[in-house]
Amino acid sequence: MDSSLIAPAPGRRELQKHERERRILIAARRLFDRKGYAKTSMEEVAARAGLAVGTLYNYFHSKDDLLLAIMRREADRLLRIGERILADPPKDPILALAAMADLFVESISAEERMLWRELFAAAITSPHDLGARLLELDTSLVAQLAALIQELKDRRVLTNDVDATQAAMTIYGICISWGLAFVTNEEITVVSMRSGIIGAIRMIVRGLLPRAHQ
Amino acid sequence: MDSSLIAPAPGRRELQKHERERRILIAARRLFDRKGYAKTSMEEVAARAGLAVGTLYNYFHSKDDLLLAIMRREADRLLRIGERILADPPKDPILALAAMADLFVESISAEERMLWRELFAAAITSPHDLGARLLELDTSLVAQLAALIQELKDRRVLTNDVDATQAAMTIYGICISWGLAFVTNEEITVVSMRSGIIGAIRMIVRGLLPRAHQ
DNA sequence: TTAAAAAAATGAATCGATTCATTTATTGCA
DNA sequence: TGCAATAAATGAATCGATTCATTTTTTTAA
């Protein structure tokens, strides 16, 4: 008989671990989507995954942690697309920055806004834990944005006065504040969030002061 | 004998109500400051206020609601100062906008940042409840900022192209994102938050495009 | 193959926010 | 003043996240 199926063989444990983690994530995802994050209890997630509650905590430190794991995929996808834009950015600075902002818009609208809302709140509440892990993402995105702006400066498309990091943080901050508005306000659509962000970018690029040559 | 003290007189209930609300707020404030919001239980607040837990809920819908009531004062002060700035704004647009932003900085740094952090998180989690009430404040502040920008446009200090509301939302968004960074990151000081915000305002006012006349 | 060791799973217990049926206090009125 | 009506206070009960001592499974080594 095949001992790898009947009798436990070395490595079995590792496989089981992945399989269970996957099962937990799928169960949680399904329930969070159907009933909402707050209304879903860890008991329910455990039941759907065919495990005991305590077991969930061997895989994820907390309910929020479970949520982060679910949302993480989207965030990673985001960074990869960002790399691509960076490799060959649009010539127009507004379009280039808008392309980066679109990543943010897409990722935040790819999942239930309720889930992002809970994730944001959890990240704020535990800055050392969840928050720190989301911050890594922020930092990477700001770095990408800063690299793009530096590139545009080098091409003389943007003024040399500007500090690329500062500009990146500012634009990213605008994305965050629109993102927060979006996830907390059902009246804000993906379209209005997008045009709000792009409008702000256009304004920043052009400036508020009257132009001599106009 | 004085019936208003010994025997219940009409109006006694009303007085008692205010007194108790005050006692609850003071007790909660003291405990939140000393032990932190999360570590303080409603039982403790009740005990310190000399009441039963259930009674707290006759005065405040939830623990978060209690927190909001504590922070509310600061927010109202903010709006009143905003009115004053609006009445006689600095001539320089950057200084004028910075004065408004300073309000935000002051109010957020006047209390324990941990309390703002919890309040922000709670507002995000319950957008219809707490969030809606904080949103009123945001809306008022954006309106003040927009009024200021309109004033600067009328004086021809800012370009006529700009949409005052859009600019106000953008600048306010930057304040919010810095505020979030501040409350979630101990390394960010009041000074660095302030200079970050003012730097961003300067950048927005001047724009990123190269200037013909430079 | 088997027994000890290590890892993982388990679910009862804890802790805290919130609810609600019951009790107590206040008010309005005769 | 005394009684019914109303408002407020009460704390035991509920519900859910999280912990942890115990049990079960898997691995290791003889």
Domain boundaries, chain A: 10-61, 64-213
- Helix residue ranges per DSSP H, chain B: 12-35, 42-49, 53-59, 63-87, 93-110, 113-125, 130-154, 164-184, 190-206
Nucleotides of C under 7 A from a protein CB: 7-12, 15-21, 25-28
C-alpha distances in Å from residue A55, one per residue of A26, A31, A60, A146, B151 = 15, 18, 9, 42, 61
Say whether the CB atom of B54 is under 7 angstroms from strand C.
yes
**B175-187 mean pLDDT:** 96
**B125-143 mean pLDDT:** 92
Q: What percent of chain B has pLDDT over 90?
A: 73
Tokens of B27: 């007790």
Q: Is the pTM of this model over 0.85?
A: yes
- Is 50 exceeded by the pLDDT of residue B4? no
The reported pLDDT for the residue numbered B180 is 96
| Inter-chain residue contact B172 with A177, CB threshold 8 Å | yes
Smallest CA–CA distance, residue B170 to chain A, in Å, is 6
Nearest-angstrom CA–CA distance, A33 and A115 = 8
One-letter amino acid for residue B43 of the chain: E
| DSSP letter, residue B211 | P
- Given pLDDT bands bounded at 50, 70 and 90, which one contains residue B12? low
Smallest CA–CA distance, residue B72 to chain A, in Å, is 19
- Closest C-alpha to B108, from B170, B185, B166, B46: B185
| Inter-chain residue contact B174 with A174, CB threshold 8 Å | yes
Say whether the CB atom of B184 is under 7 angstroms from strand C.
no
Nearest-angstrom CA–CA distance, A111 and A74 = 8
C1' of C8 to CA of A66 (Å): 19
Say whether the CB atom of B43 is under 7 angstroms from strand C.
yes
The reported pLDDT for the residue numbered A1 is 33
- Is 70 exceeded by the pLDDT of residue B23? yes
- Is 70 exceeded by the pLDDT of residue B18? yes
Say whether the CB atom of A16 is under 7 angstroms from strand C.
yes
| Inter-chain residue contact B212 with A207, CB threshold 8 Å | no
Q: Would you state the CATH architecture of domain A10-61?
A: Orthogonal Bundle (1.10)
Say how many CA atoms lie within 13 Å of A175 toward its Cβ.
23
The reported pLDDT for the residue numbered A112 is 87
CA B157 to chain centre: 29
Please tell me which of the candidates A122, A185, A210 has its beta carbon nearest to residue B127: A185
Chain A to chain B Cβ contacts (< 8 Å): 147
Q: What percent of chain B has pLDDT over 70?
A: 91
Say how many C-beta atoms besides its own lie within 10 A of residue B207's C-beta.
Answer: 21
Fold agreement (A10-61, A64-213) = no
Burial class (CB in 10 A: 0-12, 13-18, 19+), A80: exposed
| Inter-chain residue contact B159 with A123, CB threshold 8 Å | no
- Given pLDDT bands bounded at 50, 70 and 90, which one contains residue B212? low
Closest-approach nucleotide to residue B40, Cα vs C1': C16
Indicate the average pLDDT of chain B. Answer: 89
Q: Which residue has the higher pLDDT, B110 or B179?
A: B179
One-letter amino acid for residue A88 of the chain: D
A64 touches B at CB < 8 Å: no
Task: Please provide the size of chain A in residues.
Answer: 214
Tokens of A189: 């659509």
The reported pLDDT for the residue numbered B14 is 75
Nearest-angstrom CA–CA distance, B201 and B198 = 5
- pLDDT values of chain A reduced to their tens digit, one per residue, 214 residues: 333 333 434 466 677 889 999 999 999 999 999 999 999 999 999 999 999 999 999 999 999 999 999 998 888 888 898 999 999 999 899 999 999 999 999 989 988 899 999 999 999 999 999 999 999 989 999 999 999 999 999 999 999 888 999 999 999 999 999 999 999 999 999 999 999 999 999 999 987 776 654 4
A194, A99 contact by CB (below 8 A):
no
Nucleotides of D under 7 A from a protein CB: 1, 7-13, 15-21, 25-28
Nearest chain A Cα to B160, which residue? A210
The reported pLDDT for the residue numbered A4 is 36
Say how many C-beta atoms besides its own lie within 10 A of residue A17's C-beta.
Answer: 12
Q: Which CATH number describes the domain made up of A64-213?
A: 1.10.357.10
| Inter-chain residue contact B210 with A123, CB threshold 8 Å | no
Smallest CA–CA distance, residue B125 to chain A, in Å, is 6
